[in-house]
Structure formats: C-alpha cells, structure tokens
C-alpha cells in the first residue's frame, strides 16, 4: 500500500482530506475554510488523530519509527549545502524532509531559491535602544527578488507533478512575478491578474519578461481575486494564490534557515508585513514544526504590521480580538500590501494568538521613513517590507518588546521592485503635507537627514566640487 506523505486539514472545522480531494479553490467543502498541510509528525496530527470529516486519521499514516530525527536532520541539512545538485542547493528543498509534498522529491521546479541573508541593523537598533535587531532579507537571494519564490517553488512543483498545463494567480505583483518565473521554468503557461495602475513597475516587468499572460484589470487586488475565483470554476487552471496550502510549505522554510543562521537559537520576536496574511502563518508553521520535532525549544512571538490604509487585521484585533473581520477599501503606496479583504485572516489571527504576537499598523509617513532608514543601512527593501521596522518602533515604544529581546524583521522584497517610490521619496514628492503633518520633530529631522535627492549639474569640475562641498556641510553622516 502506498503511504500518504501528507494530508490537508481545514483550519476552520478541522476536517482532514487526502490531497487529491482538494477542490480547485482550495476551500473546505464543509465550512469554506483554508487548509494547512499536515504530516504524521505534525503536532495536530499526533494529538488529534480523529477528524470530524471521518475521511482519514492522519496519525495512522506512518509508523512512529519514521518520524524525522532532529539530530539526523540537522546533519543532513548541513551536508546538502556542499552538494552540487539543484535540489540540495535550493534553500527550500534542502529541507525537503519537512515538506514531503512531492511524489518525486528529488526533481522539483527550482531556481535555487532561499538561502537568504540575515543582516544586523545596528543603526536602527541603536536608535530604538534595543540590543539585537536583525533583518532576514527575503528579497535578496531569491531569484525574482521576493519571499514569494520560496512558496512558489513548492506549489508550482505540485502543479507540474499533477500534470497541469495552466497556472494562475491574482497578485499585487510579487506573487505574479514568482509564478511567471517558475511556470516558465517548468514549461507551464501562466495567467496573471493584477490591479491596473496599482502595482510597482519592477514587478509588472517581471511577469512580462517571464512570458505570462498579463491581464491588468480595472479594479483592485480584491477585485482580481473575485474574477480569478470565477475563472478557476470554468477553466482547468491550477490556482497559485496563497490559499493554495502548498505555498505555505515553501514559505515556512525561512524559519528553518533562520534558526540555522542563529546557530540553533530562537529569536524572541519575528515581525512580518501583512497583506493577504499568509506569510506570518507560514513562518509560524515552520517554527511550530521545528518545535514539535525537538529542533528548537520554543516558538518566537510572530507579529504582523499592516499599512494604516490597508489595515483590516489591525482593526479586527483592536475591535474584537480577531473574532471577525470587516473588509476595507485598501489604499497605501506600499502596493504589495494594498489588500482590503485578506484571504488568510483566520490563519493570521491563529498565529498571533498562539505565539503571543501582536498586530500593529504604520502610516505612509512612518513606512517611508523606515524604508529610508533600512536603505541607509546599505540594505534597502521595498515599501511593504519597511512596515516591519515602522511597527517595531511602536512595539518598543509601548513596551511590548524590551531592549534585551532579539528581534528579526522579515524584509519581503528587494528595493529595486519599486524604484519609483524611492525616487519620489528622495525628490520630496512622495508624501503629501497632510501625511507629514502628524510627524514628530524627530521624524521630520530624520527625513531631512536621509533624503538624498539627485542633483542635475553641468559637466564642470568646479561646479561638481562646490556641490559636493555643500552636500557635506548640510547632510551629516547618518550614524
Ligand atoms: N511584502 C511583500 C513584498 C509582498 O509582496 C506581500 C504580498 C506581503 C509583504 C504580504 O504578505 O500577503 O502573505 O501577508 N504580496 C502578495 C502578492 C499579495 O500578490 O504579491 P502576505
């Protein structure tokens, strides 16, 4: 008998189904909830072996003797770093023992994703008065420049293995870039639905470059999701939005990498930007599974930061502790997280509650300032990613994070994804006066220090020298 490696468990009603029983929209037939992938060793499978659906009992899939062993895993994952095989070089598939979702695990659709750097942010830490601030930069190292690649290699490998010819997603730009790249790599056709005029140019150019059918709909992201849910009912296309639970299997692996990079240590706090709200939950799943297997002693707090103009989770946590969500009309220049009706709302609330994290919001001015600060550390990121630092400032100010706690910001996208935003900021025409009005004097002065507008000059050496001299006088080094 072929032993099932994994099953799908509804995060709403706990119904468990085999992989082949999933509907095209990846919604639970009983309650409409989203699924998580579970394995025989997932705590949920071990502790809760009977499902309400009665379809199957995950605890009975594989005998206990086949549970992954923590020390063997640590050794194996290190060994694979020296291998020349693509599957071992991938920062996702190097951990394939904890995402056994493929029938042929040695042959995924990979672009050597993952293996992203962990940087310290000494200036931001000093400014905040905290000892230990790190940034795991998912925009650097990943082939299309965002964290979406880790999830896309997983879900697209499943699509290819199951024989789909077409894949599709609705996106604020990064999912579509990643999907288009991995689909091209696998020889599949891809359809991208994006909100017209509301995604960054870098991302739009990527989906065209990788050969997707790119459809710019005159609506917002939430409108694109509505159209896509109609399309998948009518066409045999594989849905690659983050409701697809295989995406989370790839997106949980930065948690494994992070612990390796910290030599087995677990930070106290991990902070992610929140849009459709899948990423925090995926990382939470990664940490939880490591904990279940004895690889780490505890799970960090996971907090989510939303843009103030796209803050349905923040509002819900304030108003009813995440019991229910009221969609908003989203509006923020951090276009990656311009989402008013997040699909993974329930998962995000579950992650915040179970890890003891929080949800914060950040204004346009606060996001812009934090992005400039991350840029000034020589790292840079796209606007949505900078929401993490803006949220951290609030968590420190209100005492939720104490100086000795180790904090890791998840920077989700590369700074070159959205150069228009950066140029507008430095030229001084990003923020309106009413957006700057609530800024403190300290914030205004920091904006002034960090803004480096380009200067157009005649090609004359004296003029250039005079201008450099003036710049040195007026802008002290940000230390
Ligand atoms: N940061 C970036 C750069 C993103 O592209 C996204 C989401 C997020 C943060 C939020 O992650 O949705 O898991 O809460 N981008 C999606 C997309 C929606 O279509 O590219 P989330």
Q: What is the pLDDT of residues 264-320, one digit of tens each?
A: 999 999 999 999 999 999 999 999 999 999 999 999 999 999 999 999 999 999 999
In DSSP notation, 316-349 reads HHHHHTTS---------S-GGG--SS-TTHHHHH
Query: Relative to the CA of 277, which ligand 1 atom is closest?
Result: 14
For residue 97, how far is its CA from the centre of ligand 1 (angstroms)? 26
Strand 359-362: give its sheet, edge to edge.
118-120, 132-137, 406-411, 269-273, 301-307, 359-362
C-alpha dihedral sign at 307, 309, 311, 315 = positive
Asked whether the predicted pLDDT for residue 411 surpasses 90, the reply is yes
Ligand 1 pocket: which of 135, 137, 155, 172 to mutate (most atoms <8 Å of CB)? 172
> What mean pLDDT value characterizes the chain?
93
Alpha helices, DSSP H, located in 38-121: 43-47, 70-80, 86-89
For residue 217, how far is its CA from the centre of ligand 1 (angstroms)? 18
- CB distance 360 to ligand 1 below 6 Å: no
Provide, rounded to the nearest whole percent, the portion of the chain with pLDDT above 90: 91
Query: Relative to the CA of 278, which ligand 1 atom is closest?
Result: 13
Asked whether the predicted pLDDT for residue 48 surpasses 50, the reply is no
Mean pLDDT across the stretch 370-377? 98
**Which residue's CA is the closest to the ligand 1 atom numbered 12?**
276
Asked whether the predicted pLDDT for residue 64 surpasses 90, the reply is no
Query: Relative to the CA of 175, which ligand 1 atom is closest?
Result: 20
Do the beta carbons of residue 420 and residue 382 sit within 8 Å? no
For residue 336, how far is its CA from the centre of ligand 1 (angstroms)? 5
Ligand 1 pocket: which of 195, 275, 285, 349 to mutate (most atoms <8 Å of CB)? 275
Asked whether the predicted pLDDT for residue 60 surpasses 90, the reply is no
**Which residue's CA is the closest to the ligand 1 atom numbered 15?**
336
Global pTM? Answer: 0.95
Asked whether the predicted pLDDT for residue 1 surpasses 70, the reply is no
Q: Which two tokens stand for residue 257?
A: 């990498």
Q: How far is CA 348 from CA 317, 344, 357, 392, 450, in A?
A: 11, 6, 10, 18, 34
Provide, rounded to the nearest whole percent, the portion of the chain with pLDDT above 70: 93
108 or 479, which is more confident: 108
Do the beta carbons of residue 272 and residue 388 sit within 8 Å? yes
Mean pLDDT across the stretch 241-246? 97
- CB distance 335 to ligand 1 below 6 Å: no
- CB distance 207 to ligand 1 below 6 Å: no
Q: Which pLDDT score, from 0 to 100, does residue 46 have?
A: 52
**Which residue's CA is the closest to the ligand 1 atom numbered 6?**
336
- CB distance 146 to ligand 1 below 6 Å: yes
The DSSP call for residue 98 is G
Query: Relative to the CA of 171, which ligand 1 atom is closest?
Result: 19
pLDDT tier, 185 (very low <50, low <70, confident <90, very high otherwise): very high
For residue 337, how far is its CA from the centre of ligand 1 (angstroms)? 6
pLDDT tier, 473 (very low <50, low <70, confident <90, very high otherwise): confident
- CB distance 312 to ligand 1 below 6 Å: no
Residues 6+ apart with CB under 8 A from 248: 36, 37, 151, 242, 278, 281, 282, 285
pLDDT per residue as tens digits for the range 126-144: 999 999 999 999 999 999 9
Q: Which pLDDT score, from 0 to 100, does residue 269 have?
A: 98
For residue 335, how far is its CA from the centre of ligand 1 (angstroms)? 9
Query: Relative to the CA of 274, which ligand 1 atom is closest?
Result: 14
Query: Relative to the CA of 272, which ligand 1 atom is closest?
Result: 9
Mean pLDDT across the stretch 170-195? 98
**Which residue's CA is the closest to the ligand 1 atom numbered 9?**
273
Query: Relative to the CA of 241, which ligand 1 atom is closest?
Result: 19
Mean pLDDT across the stretch 204-228? 97
Ligand 1 pocket: which of 204, 310, 336 to mutate (most atoms <8 Å of CB)? 336
Rounded to whole angstroms, the Cα distance separating 114 from 251 reads 9
| Residue 283, H or E segment | helix 279-292
pLDDT per residue as tens digits for the range 227-236: 999 999 999 9
- CB distance 386 to ligand 1 below 6 Å: no
Mean pLDDT across the stretch 49-72? 54
Asked whether the predicted pLDDT for residue 56 surpasses 90, the reply is no
Question: Cα torsion at 68, 74, 76, 82 (round to 10°)?
Answer: 160
The DSSP call for residue 42 is S
């Amino acid at each position: 008998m072929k032993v099932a490696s994994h099953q799908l468990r509804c995060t709403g009603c706990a119904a468990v189904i085999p992989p082949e029983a999933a509907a095209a929209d990846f919604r639970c037939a009983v309650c409409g909830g989203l699924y998580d992938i579970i394995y025989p060793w997932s705590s949920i499978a071990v502790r809760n072996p009977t499902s309400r659906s009665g379809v199957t009992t995950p605890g009975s899939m594989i005998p206990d003797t086949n549970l992954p062993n923590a020390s063997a895993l640590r050794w194996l994952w290190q060994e694979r770093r020296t291998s020349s095989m693509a599957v071992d070089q991938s920062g996702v598939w190097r951990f394939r023992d904890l995402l056994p979702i493929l029938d042929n695990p040695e042959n995924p659709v990979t672009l050597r994703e993952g293996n992203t750097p962990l940087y310290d942010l000494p200036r931001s830490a000093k400014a905040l008065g905290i000892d230990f601030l790190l940034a795991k930069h998912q925009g650097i190292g990943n082939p299309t420049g965002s964290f979406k690649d880790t999830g896309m290699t997983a879900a697209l490998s499943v699509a290819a293995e199951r024989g789909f010819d077409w894949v599709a997603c609705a996106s604020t730009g990064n999912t579509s870039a990643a999907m288009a790249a991995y689909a091209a790599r696998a020889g599949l056709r891809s359809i991208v639905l994006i909100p017209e005029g509301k995604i960054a140019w870098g991302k739009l150019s990527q989906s065209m470059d990788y050969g997707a059918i790119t459809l710019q709909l005159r609506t917002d992201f939430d409108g694109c999701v509505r159209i896509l849910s109609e399309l998948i009912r009518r066409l045999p296309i594989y849905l690659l939005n983050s409701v697809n639970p295989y995406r989370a299997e790839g997106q949980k692996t930065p948690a494994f990498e992070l612990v390796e990079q910290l030599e087995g240590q677990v930070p106290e706090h991990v902070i992610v930007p929140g849009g459709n709200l899948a990423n925090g939950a995926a990382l939470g799943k990664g940490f939880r599974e490591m904990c279940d297997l004895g690889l780490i002693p505890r799970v960090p707090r996971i907090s989510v930061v939303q843009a103030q103009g796209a803050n349905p989770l923040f509002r819900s946590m304030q108003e009813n502790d995440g019991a229910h969500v009221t969609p908003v009309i989203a509006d923020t220049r951090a276009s990656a997280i311009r989402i008013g009706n997040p699909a993974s709302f329930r998962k995000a609330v579950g992650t915040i509650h179970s890890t003891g994290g929080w949800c914060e919001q950040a204004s346009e001015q606060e996001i812009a300032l934090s992005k400039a600060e991350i840029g000034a550390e020589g790292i840079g990121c796209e606007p949505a990613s900078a929401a993490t630092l803006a949220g951290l400032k609030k968590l420190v100010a209100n005492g939720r994070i104490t100086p000795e706690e180790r904090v890791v910001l998840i920077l989700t996208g590369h700074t070159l994804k959205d150069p228009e935003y950066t140029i507008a900021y430095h030229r001084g025409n990003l923020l309106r006066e009413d957006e700057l009005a609530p800024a403190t004097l300290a914030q205004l002065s920091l904006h002034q220090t960090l803004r480096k507008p380009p200067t157009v000059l005649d090609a004359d050496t004296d003029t250039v020298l005079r201008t450099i001299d003036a710049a040195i006088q007026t802008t002290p080094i940000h230390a």
